[in-house]
Amino acid sequence: MQIVFLGTSSGAPTTKRNVSGIGLRLMDRGAWWLIDCGEGTQHQIMRSVLNISQLEKIFITHLHGDHLYGLIGMLASRSLRGAETGGITLYGPKGIDEYVQAIMRISPVHLQYPLIIKVVEEGIIYEDDTIVVEAAKVKHRVPAFAYSMTEKPRPGAFKIELAKEAGIPKGPMYAQLKAGGTVQLEDGRVFHGKDFVHPPQPGLKVAFSGDTIPCQNMVRLAQGADMLVHESTYVHQHLELAERSGHSTAKQAAEIAVAAEAKGLLLTHLSPRYDIEDGPITLDDMLQEAQEVFLNSQIAQDLCVYEVKRTRLL
Ligand SMILES: [Zn+2]
């Protein structure tokens, strides 16, 4: 898994940061998913390592413009790619369907691929053989969801050298052993699958807060995440502003990471007021504030690729 930030500014873009949009690259799948789609996201996609044709799913956290206004333009541009693009499933809070349909009715767009829109409720909203996506209600000025993506454990690798040494013939017997079965050779020797397969590898988990004040639901959703991407609109000195606008401070985001026992924290949705090099409070101050609570905190940068790795526990 890789996380690619397409926009890390809150409310309005700056010259260095676009408004909200985050790519989640799922290497095994040959696809990527998009969380939020602020205006200009399609330009950021072109500048990034992501390929718009490989976009498979979009998750909108809430219906504020800085998370949404890039959606229709991006979908329409993607359609110009023609036959090389597959369908897209769009998930979002109640109203996402009306929003898309109303714009497409008034300003006709003919998409060359199927667009399926799913209005989400709390709970598991998508699941297949490899991954589970869960939505949880968070607390903002409008209905808002956070999302987590959890890979399912992968079967352990087959100990092929061991099988060769044992003289087990390649082919169906290997498959039986891989599936955990028992095989018997012509000479009478019996082998068990469990001795020839490494233990299953746990999958990775990531969680995206969207916009929210600190809330228990976020802690629950992000429990044990290998990477938590949490909004950090303000520094704690501006707590009152954060509370009034339904946002979190860096300290609060770090506290959520601690409570959820997350392994890493990426701070995003940063107020443009701190993105001024010689301003009174800078993003370095914000980073320090977060790291005092949760050391493995980082300030997300536009177009940077963050590799999500399993942290080995000693
Ligand atoms: Zn918002």
How far is the centre of ligand 1, averaged over its atoms, from the C-alpha of 145 (Å)? Answer: 11
Residue 302 is labelled as binding a ligand: no
pLDDT at 207 over 50: yes
Question: Which pLDDT does position 223 carry in this prediction?
Answer: 98
pTM of the model: 0.90
Give dist(CA 207, CA 313) in Å, integer. 20
Q: Which of 36, 66, 226, 302 is catalytic?
A: 66
pLDDT at 314 over 70: no
Q: What are phi and psi of 22, to 5 degrees?
A: -135, 130
- Non-local (6+) Cβ contacts of 217 within 8 A are 136, 137, 138, 139, 146
Domains of the chain, CATH where assigned: 2-154+200-307 (3.60.15.10), 160-195 (no CATH)
Residue 236 is labelled as binding a ligand: no
pLDDT in tens, 2-28: 999 999 999 999 999 999 999 999 998
Strands 55-59 and 88-92: parallel
3-state secondary structure of 73: helix
Give dist(CA 22, CA 137) in Å, integer. 19
Tokens of 1: 């898994």
Residue 62 is labelled as binding a ligand: yes
Strands 88-92 and 115-119: parallel
pLDDT in tens, 181-201: 999 999 999 999 999 999 888
Sign of CA pseudo-dihedral 225, 231, 237, 241: negative
Residue 211 is labelled as binding a ligand: yes
pLDDT at 261 over 90: yes
Cα distances (angstroms) measured from residue 206 to each of 31, 228, 251, 275: 16, 6, 20, 26
Identify which has the larger pLDDT, 275 or 120. Answer: 120
DSSP string, 220-289: HHTTT-SEEEEE--B-GGGHHHHHHHT--BHHHHHHHHHHTT-S-EEEESB-GGG--TTSSS-HHHHHHH
How far is the centre of ligand 1, averaged over its atoms, from the C-alpha of 104 (Å)? Answer: 23
pLDDT in tens, 226-259: 999 999 999 999 999 999 999 999 999 999 999 9
How far is the centre of ligand 1, averaged over its atoms, from the C-alpha of 116 (Å)? Answer: 24
pLDDT in tens, 69-86: 999 999 999 998 765 678
Does 195 qualify as catalytic in the annotation? no
How far is the centre of ligand 1, averaged over its atoms, from the C-alpha of 80 (Å)? Answer: 30
Q: How many CB atoms lie within 10 A of CB 95?
A: 15
| Torsion-angle region of 167 (φ positive above 0: left; ψ -120 to 50: alpha; else: beta) | left
Tokens of 245: 């606008």
The average confidence (pLDDT) of the chain is 95
153: Cα within 13 Å, side-chain hemisphere: 8
Share of the chain above pLDDT 70, in %: 98
Question: Which pLDDT does position 155 carry in this prediction?
Answer: 83
From the list 311, 267, 261, the residue with the least C-alpha distance to 289 is 267
